[in-house]
A and B are shown apart, each in its own frame.
Chain A
Amino acid sequence: MDGFGVTVAFWILAAVTLVAGGGVMVSRNLLHAVLFLILSFIGVAGFFVLLSAEFIAMAQVIIYVGAITVLILFAVLLTPRASRDNSETVWALPGMLLAVCLAAIFLFVVHDTQWKTVTDAPLLTTQDLGHALLGTWVLPFEIASVLLTAALVGAIMLTRSAEEEAEDALA
């Protein structure tokens, strides 16, 4: 696990993630902020790879980089005043205070936790996950699909206007 390459990769990823996270705050253009957010998410995915959690890294890229940012981008595009900047708000000071408090709690937790280090990490591959999903956890696996279907039907119900319903009732 430990090696020169891993250490270098960690620091590069840390720099990319933090700089991109700062970019989200500093960027005056809302769309640029979202692009920085994508870069930050990709950095986090790199951390998951370093931790040998390949499946989570893949899920991070597909769900966060793919889905979540697409939703945010569409929300920006659909906002009437989409051209507005990442403007100053009255919440800047409370937000700052909250961030400092949160950082204090995190520092306390990180400092106080007894981090166990193991020499041979139990390597759980994505194949093991696949076997578990099709074996012991096959019912949650199938129910997840039911949940997705329910979400799809719900999305259609919510986005259909009354005119469309009336139009289809005639057809």
Chain B
Amino acid sequence: MLYEYGHIGILVLIALIFPIGALATSWALQFVNIRPTSKPDVVRDDIYECGLRTEGPSRVQFNFRFYYIALLFVLLDVEIVFLFPWALVFDDVGWVGYGKGMLFIGTFVIGGVYAWRKRALEWRL
């Protein structure tokens, strides 16, 4: 059982190869004179963002409503943690277990309906 987690190690290796490979390639290219210069200049130090010129500072204060969305995400996250064990025994517990899980979700749906009716899910300025 524990050894099956060893496969994650392989995935981690693959995940590491990509960024390290990109950095190493970039580093190696300086020896073959493809990269024009390593000296700082205006174009080289320009902020790359989707090809558009950036305007203004990149750090601006965000709307407080973002934090509300984050809170909503945290609550749903905790909900998911409880649903994991339920989903794993889904086949064994039958309709009664299904009903218990649905009651669990349904209670939270009441909160969701409240949020919807209070128009908390809309973006208002």
Contacts and interface: CB of A to CB of B under 8 A. Distances in A.
B39 interface: no
B21 to A, nearest CB: 20
Per DSSP, are chain B's interface residues mostly helix, strand or loop, or mixed? helix
Contacts of B107: 142, 145-146, 148-149
B9 A9 contact: yes
Interface size class on chain B is 35 or more
B114 A5 contact: no
Nearest to B58: A83
Nearest to B118: A156
B72 A141 contact: no
B108 A141 contact: no
Contacts of B97: 134
Interface residues of A, number: 49
15 contacts: A49-B5, A50-B2, A67-B78, A71-B70, A71-B71, A78-B64, A126-B84, A126-B88, A129-B85, A133-B85, A146-B107, A148-B78, A150-B111, A152-B114, A156-B120
Of all A-B residue pairs in the complex, the 3 with the closest CB atoms, nearest first, are: A130-B85, A130-B89, A149-B111
Interface of A: 1, 3, 5-6, 9, 49-50, 52, 55, 58-59, 62-63, 66-67, 70-71, 74-75, 77-78, 80, 82-83, 126-127, 129-131, 133-134, 138, 141-142, 144-146, 148-153, 155-156, 159-160, 164, 168
